[in-house]
Amino acid sequence: MASPQELRFDGQTVVVTGAGGGLGKQYALFYGSRGANVVVNDLGGSFKGEGKSTKAADVVVEEIRAKGGKAVGNYDSVENGEAIIETAIKNFGRVDVLINNAGILRDISFKNMKDQDWDLIMAVHVRGAYKCARAAWPYFRRQKYGRVISTASAAGLFGNFGQCNYSAAKLALVGFTETLAKEGVKYNILCNTIAPIAASRMTETIMPPDVLQVLKPEWVVPLVAVLTHKSNTETGSLYEVGGGHIAKLRWERSKGALYKADSSLTPGSIPTKWNEVNDFSQPEYPSGPANFMELLEAAQQLPPNDPGAPMDFKGKVVLITGAGAGLGRSYALLFAKLGARVIVNDLVNPDTVVQEIQKMGGEAIPNKANVTDGDAVIKSAIDAYGRIDVLINNAGILRDKAFTNMDDKMFDTVMEVHLRGTYKCTKAAWPYMLKQKYGRIINTTSTSGIYGNFGQANYAAAKCGILGFSRALAREGAKYNIWVNTIAPNAGTQLTRTIMPEEMVQAFKPDYVAPLVVLLCSDKTPDPPTGRLYEVGSGWVAQTRWQRTGGHGFPIDQPLTPEAVLKVWSKINDFNDGRADHPESNQDGLKSIMANMGNIVGGKKQGGKVNKEILGNIEKATKAQAQGTEFKYDERDVILYNLGVGAKRTDLPLVYENSDNFQVLPTFGVIPPFNAVAPFSLGDIVPNFSPMMLLHGEQYLEIRKFPIPTEATLVSYPKLVEVVDKGNAGIVVTGTTTKDGRTGEDLFYNESTVFIRGSGGFGGPAKGADRGAATKIHKPPQRKPDAVVEEKTSEEQAALYRLSGDRNPLHIDPEFSKVGGFKVPILHGLCFFGYAGRHVVQTYGLFKNVKVRFAGTVLPGQTLRTEMWREGNKVVFQTKVVETGKLCIAGAGAELVGGTAAKL
């Protein structure tokens, strides 16, 4: 990792899906503020995946642009990943970072879930992530650089009641991303997964308001920034993040129990070493399957297994999918041997296995239905026997291909058979199991799903998704005596024949997997377990679970930065400091995050000490030179601005280009610098910077050349003037010189002062410098005003003024204003500054400089009253909101030009 200097993304292009709100919006704003080109993708639908609109993306794009960033909107569904990535290529020529963030919820108990609830979740979360990553992959490979973030959740990691679909999708993304990490690493394509807990439209439905207040999306962004930066080396990793806490998760596998791999390995023999199966005292932390050849050789050296207690499945109806050969056949034969009535499902040939069972005196019937038609699969059991007690979802196919060569059909077919087939068969069996208050379900994952595997992005996604589905289903089934467990088997089958040498296929017999499956479906499992994951094969059985670092909790009353995350990166990733735990539920997942809610510094930033890093950054920033940002305007823009600050149709010099005295109001000088790119970042020069804590405090404007042209190309050069330390706040003054692009002459000079709460205490100067007119506070004389102008703003004033450049949604979108604590969108500060400036001009003539202090807010439609006192060549003024009697502009003054230039 790089040293904790500011992480920049200049020149890079970042694609964020689902970026119209919540987490995605915060990602987009962050990358825009750190120099990246941002593609803001959002379909604009509801959190349930209904409808569409361009508004959500457009608002974020405009907010980025308003702050000087570069962004474009994209309104495609993530299933049209090619179009999303094409937007990046067409607009910016490259794509460097992909954040798969788009998501919807369709929460519903499994018994009431409809196919649409399942399919929509899979389409958005899993197929959408695949489509976007697949479209970006060729560009990543060609440039030998790429960063991918996938978004899982606690529901996926641990399973959650009422979220079988969502849990499946979210864990599918873990296996998918682990595979991408393995395939991408040699091309410097690093892929990681996060499991965020954050307030959003989705979490509003399942979390209490007091918790949501602390779970700001801003807590997630810094981790993602670290993982997507060019300095990152982490790949294939999984992080839990939210509420100021970050921790890393990894798979932990028990040492497991070893049994002799021969005919003495029976379902009854497995419990004789059950403690070893679940013993994590000597764990492994694998990134792939166990060494089964080594395990097999060791197993062959053992004495015959203890037979244990006998198993009996008389009266039980067992249905096994994909049972025409391989693992499914072994299961079918063993269940039948123990008295079960077996339905042998196989799309190709179930009959041979049925005949084998019948020949040995067992009872079996064939079923040739496709597992994607789960109703037809289960119907055969109900028609024949009136019930179903055990369901083994085993059917599968392979479509292995390097991700760069994978096509949609390969991905969709594998997902359809494995994940949707498992869902469909289970869904069809579920009502019968609920009614009889009994059921045993075994779902089949794979080490490729758990750990990822080169050339199996489709298979890994499907298999890890099955695990997420199983864990959620186990929670719903427990109270009905329905157990759901998942196995990752290693065996020589028709599938593995394509990727294993023949001698290994022969050695890794399915017969060495079947005993565990039968045990887990019996009533004699020691625990009894449900919701667990076991790796099994070659006479070896082990449990696999999550391990999580103690991580690090950041104070929740201070903004979090990527640089702060980097400073404790080794602690976040440390599994060996004695703090690691093993979360198994959503509650466990939230434990560290909830515990961190009491982590409050309480305003004592930096403990009053000198922060040498911040002071050093300030020194550098004051010397930094801006490259200059161009601003073109014409007569139309002038008229639009004048109307935006209240000019009437009768004010012909302000609204009619053919007027003999057509002119630009001097307050127009604040517009050209608005989107100018500064040569410094606020996050560098004050600690704990958060845009949410920023207030525009004062504005100084100087007009350095008259007359102001009514059309021109200007160039603005921002510069850091000073940073003042007010203890609990920081004050930053930016000075911007705007020049005529044709002549090089100065036209305007602005000083903008912002007040940033929570960003002081770094040891800087407590008082700002005296810069004459730019810092002067004008006190009104102790007499009645010499002149008063009272004017009502229109209800549309903010909507009109924003067209001059400040498109902050706070001034137009009621949803945004509510977040800020306002019932309706408020008027821009520089808009009512323009009103007051126009009142001065129309009363006393043009001014060459003006200084104001913003003292309050104005709602569109309210009435402004500007009170003015003439003091020689200066006008001292203040502006009130008539309806409230409160000041909105205070301590203001303007120095008049005088002479003929003063006339309006």
Catalytic center residues: 166, 170, 459
Burial of 742 (0-12, 13-18, 19+ CB in 10 A): exposed
> How far out from the chain centre does Cα 536 lie?
35
Closest CA to 403 of 459, 337, 330, 335: 459
- The token duo for 135 is 């479209």
Closest CA to 846 of 869, 820, 873: 873
Name the residue type at position 900. T
Q: Is the peptide bond before 289 cis (omega within 30 degrees of 0)?
A: no
Classify 697 as helix, strand or coil: strand
Placement of tokens 């794979």 in the chain: 446
Closest CA to 5 of 701, 817, 684: 684
Name the residue type at position 299. A
| DSSP character string of 627-695 | --EEEEE-HHHHHHHHHHTT--TT-HHHH-TTSTT----GGGGGSTTTTPPPSS-HHHHSTT--GGGEE
Closest CA to 600 of 556, 655, 535: 556
Rounded distance, CA 398 to CA 447, Å?
14
Strand-strand pairing, 847-854 and 886-896: antiparallel
Closest CA to 58 of 45, 78, 74, 47: 74
Give phi and psi for 102, each to the nearest 5. Answer: -55, 140
Beta bridge partners of 536: 489, 541
Placement of tokens 């790089």 in the chain: 2
Give phi and psi for 92, each to the nearest 5. Answer: -130, -5
Rounded distance, CA 555 to CA 178, Å?
31
Closest CA to 132 of 148, 151, 113, 111: 148
> How far out from the chain centre does Cα 796 lie?
35
Rounded distance, CA 214 to CA 211, Å?
6
User: At a CB cut-off of 8 Å and minimum separation 6, what does 623 contact?
Assistant: none
Classify 402 as helix, strand or coil: coil
Q: b/e string for 29-68 if b means 16 or more Cβ within 10 A? A: bbbbbbbbbbbbbbbbbebebeeeeeebbbbbbbbbbbbb
User: At a CB cut-off of 8 Å and minimum separation 6, what does 728 contact?
Assistant: 603, 605, 757, 758, 760, 761
Closest CA to 224 of 566, 711, 492, 503: 566
